[in-house]
Amino acid sequence: MAEDTSDIIITDNKEKHRYELKFGDSDALAILVYKEQGDTITLIHTEVPQELEGHGLGGKIAKYALDDAEKRGLQVVASCPFVSSYIRRHPDYMELLTEPEKERLSKKS
């Protein structure tokens, strides 16, 4: 699955267990590392290189990963603080979370 939004291409690099976002002509990649186990995907770490900051790319890769999990019927554990924050700002994604994860994110403000 790949998404092309003008200058943005997002792919799932299954070998490296991460989503990769390429922006424009830059060789740098924004990444979201994950671990998949059974019907659960744990989103571990989001990283946007300094030269790619300021374009909302972290949000785009988080949205892509969550939409991909939904399409694949996976439950989500948001270990990554950025993804947790993204889900709090976009509560429609709460339904994807495992029950313990829903409780955890609901308690923190």
Check whether 71 has a pLDDT greater than 50: yes
- Look at the chain and report how many structural domains it folds into: 1
Alpha helices in 55-109, H assignment, sequence order: 57-72, 81-89, 99-107
Give the gyration radius of the chain's Cα atoms: 13
The pTM (predicted TM-score) of the whole model is 0.89
d(CA 107, CA 98): 14
Q: Angle at which helices 81-89 and 57-72 pack, to 10 degrees?
A: 80
d(CA 92, CA 1): 22
Q: Assign residue 50 the CATH number of its domain.
A: 3.40.630.30
Q: For residue range 39-62, list pLDDT tens digits in order.
A: 999 999 999 999 888 889 999 999
